[in-house]
Amino acid sequence: MKNECDIVRDLLFSYNDGVLSETSKTLVEEHLKTCKTCNNVLEEIKLENETKKPSKEIDIFKSIRKKITKRNIIILISLLFLLLVIIFNILVFRNYNEIASTMEIYLQDDITEEQIENIKNRIIEKSDKLELEYVSKEKALERMKNTFADNPDLLSGYNNENNPIPASVEIKTNTEIQKIVDSIQDMPGITKIETHINYNPYQLFFYKIFNE
């Protein structure tokens, strides 16, 4: 059967941690008053705990710092990704707004000067701010040849006499394009009106990138 020292030593770890019941705590303290050996054992327990405590605190601190570092990295990557998405969308819609504010009005070959002027005047009436250019058949053909300069044989058989490219009126405006379309679409001398307002902004962006 265990003597009192053995019983007290079994309780010393719990006593040092302060988790004993009042009855057991009283028993230990009464025994320690007269037992030097158990007091020495208690001091060793206290010393061991004091040695382990800083190590535990350091490990906990390292763990917390590691978690904070990982969290900060994740937050930083997320913010960078969000920033890139925002910048990309700004570029996309800036490009879209620039292209969507333009339109081409293709004209019949037998259109008269008066009809051209009527179309121009109607566009001017509907626009607050406007850049307008009349592109003749000759100029349109010249542009097309410049576009395909790397493949000159493609349009080599065409000249001003057999020019298949129609004349056009090109405009750029801050007025809603559809309003202009609605106002001129039934005017004589127009064969086709081309706008970009229903195009996908992202398709326009990548089309511009890969065709520059």
Crossing angle between the packed helical segments 4-17 and 22-32, to the nearest 10 degrees? 120
- Which residues touch 13 (CB under 8 Å, ≥6 apart)? 45
Q: Are residues 173 and 115 in the same domain?
A: yes
- Which residues touch 126 (CB under 8 Å, ≥6 apart)? 175, 179, 180, 183
Q: Is residue 92 part of a domain?
A: no
10-17 average pLDDT score: 81
Q: Are residues 60 and 116 in the same domain?
A: no
Q: Does residue 198 contact residue 103 with C-beta atoms inside 8 Å?
A: no
Q: Is residue 93 part of a domain?
A: no
Q: Which pLDDT value is given to residue 61? A: 63
What pLDDT digit, counting tens, does each position of 56-115 carry?
555 666 666 666 677 777 888 899 999 999 999 999 988 888 888 889 999 999 999 999
What pLDDT digit, counting tens, does each position of 112-141 carry?
999 999 999 999 988 878 899 999 999 999
Q: Which pLDDT value is given to residue 54? A: 55
Q: Are residues 110 and 206 in the same domain?
A: yes
- Which residues touch 32 (CB under 8 Å, ≥6 apart)? 8, 38, 39, 42
Q: Are residues 114 and 194 in the same domain?
A: yes
Q: Are residues 135 and 190 in the same domain?
A: yes
Q: Are residues 195 and 115 in the same domain?
A: yes
Q: Domains in the chain: how many in total?
A: 2
Q: Domain holding 137: CATH number?
A: 3.30.70.3040
Q: Are residues 201 and 110 in the same domain?
A: yes
User: Closest Cα partner for 191 from 210, 162, 164?
Assistant: 164
176-181 average pLDDT score: 88
- Quote the domain boundaries for residue 161: 101-210
Q: Are residues 105 and 196 in the same domain?
A: yes
Across the chain, what does the average pLDDT equal?
84
What pLDDT digit, counting tens, does each position of 181-194 carry?
999 999 999 999 99
Q: Is residue 26 part of a domain?
A: yes
Q: Is residue 85 part of a domain?
A: no
Domain final residue pick, 40, 66, 92: 66
Q: Which pLDDT value is given to residue 196? A: 85
The yes-or-no verdict on residue 23 having pLDDT over 90 is no
Q: Which pLDDT value is given to residue 55? A: 53
